[in-house]
Structure 1
Amino acid sequence: MAPTPAELIRTLVAGRLPGLVHLAHRPGPFHVRHATDAEGRVLLLVPVFSDLAAELDPVAARDVAVVLDVLDLPPAAGAPSTGRAWVSGWAVPLTGDPARKAAVEFAAVDPTGDLLDVGSRFRLHRFEVAEARLETAGVVHRVDPGDYAAAEPDPLHADEAALLADLADHHLPQVTAYLRRRLDLTGGEPRVVRLDRYGLVVALGGPGDRRRARLPFPQPVSDLSELSRVLHPLLCTRSAAHPRPHRHPANTRTDRD
C-alpha cells in the first residue's frame, strides 16, 4: 500500500510546509502561513498590514478566488519528493467565534503566538477546497474535493525527518541488514529515504541511483507508538539476527511488546 493522491495532498497542505497563495487576476504569489482543519478547509493567517491582506480586504464584502501552492521538501539529502499540491477555493475572512475556533485548529498544527493577535494584528481567512491537484513525477492528478476532504494527513509527516535521522545515525547496521533480507540484496548500501504510515521507501544504490522500492508495513500505523511496535524487529539486534520461522520479520514481537 502507498498514500493515495488525496492523502498526499492533505499531507502537503496540512500546514507544516511553506505555502504560496495565488490570487485570480492579482499580482503575486504571496508567502503565507497556513493550516488545515479537521475537514480539510484551508486557514490562512494574514498580517493585517500586508499586501496579501489588502488583496483579501474584507471591507469589499466579496469572496476572493485563491490557490494555495505547496511544494514538498524532502526530509533528507537524496530523498525523493512526493510532489507539489495545489488546492483552490474562495477565501472568506473570519471574525468572532468562528475566528476563535479556527485559531484553536490552526494552533494544533502551528502553535504560533501570533494567533493571540487574531482580530488585531492578524486576520484568519478560510476556504473550502473546490479543486485539488497533485503533480508528482511529471504527472498531474486531479482529486475530487470529496475524496480530498475524506482523506487524512499522514500522522508521521511532522516527525519524518527526525525518524529518518535516528535510523541512519543510531541503527544503521540493523537497518541495512534488515533491508538486505527483505529485498534479497547481497551488496550495495540500501537506505531508508522516506517513511509514511504505509511503509518505508528504500533507495537501492548510491547517490544518483534512482532505483527505489517500497516496503509496506503489515498495516497502516496511526501514530508513533504503533510505528515503534512495527519497527521493533528491525531495530532489535537479537530479533533481527534470529527471526522466528514462518513469520514476516515486521510481525515479530518480543514478550515485552
Structure 2
Amino acid sequence: MQPSPAEVARTLAAGRLAGTAQVAYRPGPHEVRHATDPSGRILLLVSIVSDLAAALRPEPGTRGRALVLDVRDLPPAAGAPALGRLWVSGWAEPLDGPAARQAAVDFAEVVPTGDLLDVGRRFTLHRFEPVEVRLERGGTVIDVEPAEYAAAEPDPLHPIERELLADLTDHHGSEVAAFIRRQLGGVVPAAGPDEPPPQVVRLDRYGLVVALGPGGARYRARLAFPRPMSGQAELAELLHPVLCRRRRQTDRVDQDWSPSVLPDQGRSRG
C-alpha cells in the first residue's frame, strides 16, 4: 500500500512545510504561515501590517479573496524522493470572535506559536475551504476531489520523519541494511564489493522507501508494512524485531513485509 493522492495532499497542506500564497489580481506571491483544521480547511496566520494582509482585504460587498496556496515538499535527506508539490485554491475570509478563537486552537494543534496569542491585535486568521486541489508528482499533475481531500488524514509520521530516518541510519544502520537485503535479495541485483549500504530514505504510515545499489545508479524500492501505522509507538513496536537482534524472529518478520521496486522511480542517479 501507498498513500493516496488525497492523503499526500493533506500531509503537504497540514502546515509543517513552508508555503506561499498568491492572491488573485494582486502582486505576489507571499510567504505565509498556514495550518489545516480537522476538516482540511486552510488557516492563514497573517500580520496586520504585511503586504499579504493588504492583498487579502475583502472588496466592499464581498466576504473574501480568491487565492492559491502553494506548498512544496522538502525531502528529509539528500537523494530522498519528494512527495510532490501542492496547489490548493479557495476563497479566504478573515475570522473574528469565536470563529477566530477556535481557528487559533486548531492552528496551535499543528503549529504552536506565541503569535496566536495576538490574534485580533497584531495578527489575523483567515480561513478557506479548498475548492480545487492539485498535486504534482513526478511531472504529472493529479486533480484531487475536494471531498476526498477533506476525508483523508495527514500522515501521522510525517512530522517526525526526519528524526526517525536519522535514528535508523545513525543507530541501526547495520540491522536495517541486513533487513533490506533479505527483503530485496530476489528483486534487485546482488550487492557489488564497493556498494554503499542500503538505507531508508523515506517513511510514511504505509511503509518504507529504501535505496540500494551502486552509488551512481541506486535502486529505490518500497517495503510495505503489514498494516498502516497509527503513530510512533506502533511503528516502534513493529520495528523492534528488525532492529533488536536478540529478540528478532527473522523468518516471521520477513514474511510480514511486502517488497517491490518502485516502477516510476526504480533507479535514482547520484
1:52-63 equivalences under 5 Å are: 52-58=52-58, 60-62=60-62, 63=64
TM-superposition CA deviations, 1:69-125 (whole Å, max 9, x none): 000000011111111001110001000000000000000011100000000000000
Per-residue deviation at 1:192?
0.4
Change (3 A) 1:207 1:69: farther
1:19 aligns to what? 19
**Size of the alignment, in residue pairs?**
250
1:243 aligns to what? 250
1:186-197 equivalences under 5 Å are: 186-187=190-191, 188=195, 189-197=197-205
Q: TM-score, normalised by structure 2?
A: 0.88
Name the amino acid aligned to 1:116.
L
The 4+ residue runs of structure 1 with deviation greater than 4 A are 244-247
Q: Please state if 1:227 is matched with 2:228.
A: no
TM-superposition CA deviations, 1:164-193 (whole Å, max 9, x none): 000000000100000000111641421100
1:39 aligns to what? 39
Change (3 A) 1:201 1:246: closer
Give ranges in structure 2 of 5+ residues lacking alignment. Answer: 259-270
Per-residue deviation at 1:233?
1.5
Name the amino acid aligned to 2:224.
P
Worse-matched range after superposition: 136-145 or 52-61: 52-61
1:6 aligns to what? 6
Q: Please state if 1:94 is matched with 2:95.
A: yes
Secondary structure at the counterpart of residue 159 of structure 1: helix
1:67 aligns to what? 68
Change (3 A) 1:210 1:172: closer
**In 2, Cα distance between the equivalents of 1:17 and 1:136?**
17
**In 2, Cα distance between the equivalents of 1:14 and 1:46?**
17
Per-residue deviation at 1:239?
4.0
Change (3 A) 1:70 1:246: closer
Same amino acid, percent of matched pairs: 60
**In 1, Cα distance between the equivalents of 2:80 and 2:252?**
33
1:137-216 equivalences under 5 Å are: 137-184=138-185, 186-187=190-191, 188=195, 189-216=197-224
Q: TM-score, normalised by structure 1?
A: 0.93
TM-superposition CA deviations, 1:130-188 (whole Å, max 9, x none): 00010010000000000000000000000000000000000001000000001116414
Two-structure CA RMSD over aligned residues (Å): 1.8
Change (3 A) 1:246 1:107: closer
Change (3 A) 1:250 1:210: closer
Whether the 8 Å contact between 1:70 and 1:85 is mirrored in structure 2 is yes
Secondary structure at the counterpart of residue 171 of structure 1: helix
Give ranges in structure 1 of 5+ residues lacking alignment. Answer: 252-257
Whether the 8 Å contact between 1:22 and 1:30 is mirrored in structure 2 is yes
**In 2, Cα distance between the equivalents of 1:245 and 1:96?**
56
Secondary structure at the counterpart of residue 211 of structure 1: strand
Name the amino acid aligned to 1:248.
Q
Whether the 8 Å contact between 2:23 and 2:56 is mirrored in structure 1 is no
Whether the 8 Å contact between 2:58 and 2:65 is mirrored in structure 1 is no
Name the amino acid aligned to 1:29.
P
